[in-house]
Structure 1
Amino acid sequence: MDTRERLIESTRELLWERGYVGTSPKAIQERSGAGQGSMYHHFQGKPELALAAIDRSAADLRARAEAELGGTGPVTARIGAYLRRERDALKGCPVGRLTQDPDVMADPGLRRPVEQTFAWLTDRLAGLLAEGRENGEFDAGLDPVATATALVAVLQGGYVLARAAGSAAVYERAVDGALGLLTR
């Protein structure tokens, strides 16, 4: 991995662990093994590097979601595979945790990839739910957009509840509950 990549990956990890304020240039340099000169050679400053890291986390989330959602088979199975995918529930979502960071949310440039990622995920799920409604997997009265929004909220809320309880089982119960409601 070259220096630029090490800087981005280190910043991704630090943002997930510490948030924007806790991700100092010094911490990034220490984690990446890059010197100050290298950091500023590749990026104009912390905001530009943070944006590259957030963009990367957002792209990773979309790619991992698409791996399950874009597969073949019944819509319920694809959504179930996505919701039950192995995650570190106690660590939380690397993109979702950024919504708790006031510095990220106050900066339109840093907030944009977070907002776009959740809009993409909601739209992707809504499209699948509409497909499932059309093919008879779901009730004809199902509202795809409202249901997709609820599924995204269950995922993100499941992380919060699991962290609060110190137990990944809480996250799993939230997912089980959502799938139970979806397939009734």
Structure 2
Amino acid sequence: MYSERMRTPDRLIEATQELLWERGYVGTSPKAIQQQAGAGQGSMYHHFTGKPDLARAAILRTTAQLRATAEQLLDGPGTARERLSAYLLREREVLRGCPVGRLTMDPDVVARDDLRAPVDETLTWLRGRLAGIVQEGVDQGEFAPGIVPEEIAAAMVATVQGGYVLARASGSPAAFDAAVAGLLALLTSRHPAVRGVSDACDAV
């Protein structure tokens, strides 16, 4: 599964990332991590003090990857709308859910400040980054004047995360695609109702 050149700590972290995504914190046992990483117990505890330490390293890497992916698209060429669309429409493993968003539904993750904090910080960063681009769009006349960028950014994040839930519930990515398409339509609308995008998303 892993390259022979990959260092043992990296294999352990990557294995933990996958298992947290698939099974959650409780379902990610040290034995499962070791088996997936092809590493022994001694190697695991040589590099990490225990499961919480390894889980934190995995969560930090997962959140860093989310930031890097988002930044690549949001820093890309094009207008504000084109960059936001690129982020919203990027290819995702929709039916697996968001590897970061799913952590917020794990009671064992949110109960620990050391595991929850990187997730909260990343989602806060994402809302801020999106809000900045929405503001650019308002300044350039792409979006209706008077909208509140922070509210629109929060609605974007909520729509993406809610889209994962709808897709998983229906067993089809179509529900995710419809949620994103609806948000983009509202965002570019010149009707004053665009100010209620976040309210509309909350009501779904």
**Structure 2: distance between partners of 1:42 and 1:26:** 15
Q: How does 1:72-111 map to 2 (within 5 A)?
A: 72-111=77-116
Matched AA of 1:148: A
Whole-angstrom CA distance in 2 between matches of 1:181 and 1:68: 21
Matching residue of 2:138: 133
Task: Give secondary structure in 2 for the equivalent of 1:87.
Answer: coil
Secondary structure of the structure 1 residue equivalent to 2:145: coil
Residue 14 of structure 2, aligned match among 9, 14, 20: 9
Separation of aligned partners in 2, 1:56 and 1:28: 16
1:29 aligns with 2:34: yes
1:165 alignment counterpart: 170
Task: Write the distance in 1 (CA, Å) between the matches of 2:38 and 2:79.
Answer: 46
Structure 2 distance, partners of 1:53, 1:86, is 22
Inter-partner Cα distance in structure 2 for 1:156 and 1:41: 36
Between stretches 70-79 and 13-22, larger displacement belongs to: 70-79
Note if 1:113 corresponds to 2:142: no
Tell me by how many angstroms 1:73 deviates: 1.3
Q: Post-superposition, which runs of at least 4 consecutive aligned residues in structure 1 deviate over 4 A?
A: none
Q: Report the Cα distance in structure 1 between the residues aligned to 2:80 and 2:165, rounded to whole angstroms.
A: 27
Report if aligned partners of 2:130, 2:153 keep a CA contact under 8 Å in 1. Answer: yes
* Superposed CA RMSD: 0.5
Q: Could you tell me how far 1:2 is from its partner in structure 2?
A: 0.9
- Counterpart of 2:129? 124
Structure with larger RCO (C-alpha < 8 A, sep 6+): 1
Contact 2:67–2:126 under 8 Å retained in 1: yes
**2: CA distance, partners of 1:26 / 1:100:** 23
Per the alignment, residue 198 of structure 2 pairs with: none
Task: List per-residue Cα deviations over 1:30-87 (Å, max 9, x = no partner).
Answer: 0000000000000000000000000000000000001110112100000000000000
Q: Which amino acid aligns with 1:38?
A: S
Query: Partners in 2 of 1:78 and 1:26 — Cα distance?
Result: 42
Query: Secondary structure, in 3 states, of the residue corresponding to 2:94?
Result: coil
Q: Which amino acid aligns with 1:131?
A: E
Residue 95 of structure 2: SS of its match in structure 1? Answer: coil
* Structure 1 letter corresponding to 2:97: G
Question: Percent identity over the alignment?
Answer: 62
Unaligned runs of 5+ in 1: none
Q: Structure 1: which amino acid aligns with 2:128? A: D
Contact 2:144-2:188 at 8 Å conserved across structures: no
| 2:185 pairs with 1:180 | yes
